[in-house]
Amino acid sequence: MGGGPGGGHDPFDIFSSFFGGGGPFGGGSSRGRRQRRGEDVVHPLKVSLEDLYVGTTKKLSLTRKALCSKCNGKGSKSGASMKCGGCQGTGMKVTIRQFGPGMIQQMQHACNECSGTGETISDRDRCPQCKGDKVVPEKKVLEAHVDKGMQHNQKVTFSGQADEAPDTITGDIVFVLQQKEHPRFKRKGDDLFVEHTLSLAEALCGFQFVLTHLDDRQLLIRSSPGEVVKPDSYKAINDEGMPVYQRPFMKGKLYIHFSVEFPESLSPDQAKALEAVLPQKPSGNQLTEMEIDECEETTLHQVNMEEEMRRKQQSQREAYDDDDDDGDDGPQRVQCAQQ
């Protein structure tokens, strides 16, 4: 691969004055010897809230370009190649276009004669396996480990698993977690939120119900004796939120948002009866002693949601200051399918 003195006009010479003549690393031209880094491949990976709560492993199949094993990525049977005459071995061409008086535009693009390789191979010497392309399709299966507490848009990276190319450092395959919406639970950071509607009798006289958690545990939720639950109020259960990433034995809070269902109307007789005594709890919401024994006991705590949210926002701001940016994602070229 060229770039040395002679051999015609080098389109990169137009930029040489910006780098002191010898390129950005100095010491003369080394374009033909420097390895470039291949592009990263980014693919979304859909996960459920249950996956993020308990952790899981996803198997993913993909097809990528791999260096041909028969010719070791040379593209020829002999291992020889010739410098492309169209780009003088640089792999790139520069097109200059005038779009106004005294105004020109320079556009750099891969050489169409050698597909940006800077080399050409004679038809008789082409590798029979890759047909001179130097790479062949390769199928792989990757196992993406989703750890407890990982977040929406967090990345799982497989270093050096993207498309291979000669004289190129192979890029990474990056899976970006996409959390699917859950029908019952909502997540905010390390906390979980769930909605529950009480009848008026339950709100005034007490309630108990079973909540199936994301790991299928049965939580017994019940009010304290004599407690009245107001509409649009919140209660919290400590250590029943999401696991904290890389600290799985720590968990956030589980918040229950209570709504109270009022009757649409009351007859005169009902109104008089209500003045005398409140209605009893519906029999359908009563739990048997056997059902209660199979559940885990929980404790509800009174919370001030405005204060809780201010505390969470402050914690998130402090955590954000410590985070490093991951950088831009490269374009997608590898097609992946979740098994």
The CATH number covering residue 157 comes to 2.60.260.20
Domain that residue 190 falls in? 185-267+276-322
Same domain for 155 and 200, yes or no, is no
328: DSSP letter: P
Residue 165 in domain? yes
Same domain for 193 and 224, yes or no, is yes
Same domain for 163 and 245, yes or no, is no
Same domain for 57 and 173, yes or no, is yes
Phi, psi dihedrals of residue 12, rounded to the nearest 5° = -75, -15
Residue 106 in domain? no
Residue 235 in domain? yes
Helical segments of the chain, H only: 49-54, 200-205, 268-276, 289-293, 305-322
- Give the mean pLDDT of 69-77: 87
Rounded CA-CA distance 269/223 in Å is 30
Q: What is the residue type of 59?
A: K
* 178: pLDDT strictly greater than 90: yes
Residue 86 in domain? no
- Give the mean pLDDT of 318-323: 71
Lowest mean pLDDT among 19-33, 204-218, 227-241: 19-33
- Percentage of residues in the chain having pLDDT higher than 90: 45
The predicted-structure confidence for 195-228, as pLDDT tens digits, reads as follows 999 998 899 889 999 999 999 999 999 999 989 9
Residue of 331, 206, 192, 183 whose CA lies nearest to 253: 192
So what's the pLDDT on residue 278? 57
What mean pLDDT is reported for the chain? 83
Paired with 58 in beta bridges are: 144
**Joined tokens for residue 210:** 């079973």
Residue of 300, 146, 150, 305 whose CA lies nearest to 211: 300
Q: What is the 3 state secondary structure string of 192-204? A: EEEEEEEEHHHHH
Residue 80 in domain? no
- Give the mean pLDDT of 187-198: 97
> What is the tally of structural domains in the chain?
2
The predicted-structure confidence for 147-175, as pLDDT tens digits, reads as follows 999 999 999 999 999 999 888 899 999 99
Residue matched to tokens 């108990």: 208
Rounded CA-CA distance 172/338 in Å is 18
The predicted-structure confidence for 243-284, as pLDDT tens digits, reads as follows 999 998 899 999 999 999 998 888 888 778 777 775 556 666
Given strand 335-338, what is the order of strands in its sheet? 135-146, 56-67, 335-338
Same domain for 177 and 232, yes or no, is no
Count Cβ atoms within 10 A of the Cβ of residue 328 and give its class: 0-12 exposed, 13-18 middle, 19 or more buried: exposed
Residue 152 in domain? yes
Q: What is the residue type of 146?
A: V
Indicate the SS3 state at residue 78. Answer: coil
8 A C-beta contact, residue 141 and residue 61: yes
